[in-house]
Amino acid sequence: MTTCISRSVLIGTRRISADLAPREACGLLFGSADAITAMQGVENVAEDPERRFEIDPAALFAALRAERAGGPRIAGYWHSHPSGDPTPSATDAAMAAADGKLWLIVAGEAASLWRTSAAGALHGRFDAVPVIVDEEPGASEW
């Protein structure tokens, strides 16, 4: 199944990732399984943020509360690989719940999208998701 990503999401995640390098940036994706329409940057609270990421739990809980109250649906998570390889690592797989959420990985100009599952093709946890970028008005800077 193809997932549509708004251009603004790619622009936003790349900008935050560049600002925070060589630390990994991370955050939340909003929308549905079919369309990622918005993103949020969240503090990486991992002890070794140049090699790992951990989404600030307070920000995650706040987003979950907002979702339950009728706010934006959390479609998944994003983080950056300052090394330049947008492939999920074995560490990512060990952290990922098999909950069907989307994982966007940003590595410089490259990006990749994955869906978590209990029997993924990569590291037993991730399946690649084909992406269509939704060009929208106001994104001409990219």
Q: How far apart are CA 89 and CA 110, in angstroms?
A: 15
Q: What is the DSSP code string of 71-110?
A: ---EEEEEEE-TTS--SPPHHHHHH--SS--EEEEEETTE
Shortest Å distance, C-beta 88 to Zn ion: 6
Shortest Å distance, C-beta 134 to Zn ion: 24
Show the binding pattern over residues 76-95: x = contacts Zn ion (CB under 5 A), - = does not: -------------x--x---
How many C-beta atoms surround the C-beta of residue 121 within 10 A?
11
Shortest Å distance, C-beta 51 to Zn ion: 9
How many C-beta atoms surround the C-beta of residue 128 within 10 A?
14
Which of 24, 43, 109, 135 is labelled catalytic? 24
Based on the residue annotation, tell me whether 135 is a catalytic residue of this protein: no
Q: How far apart are CA 27 and CA 40, in angstroms?
A: 5
54 binds Zn ion (CB under 5 A): no
Show the binding pattern over residues 111-140: x = contacts Zn ion (CB under 5 A), - = does not: ------------------------------
Residue ranges in contact with Zn ion by CB under 5 A? 89, 92
Supply the residues annotated as catalytic. 24
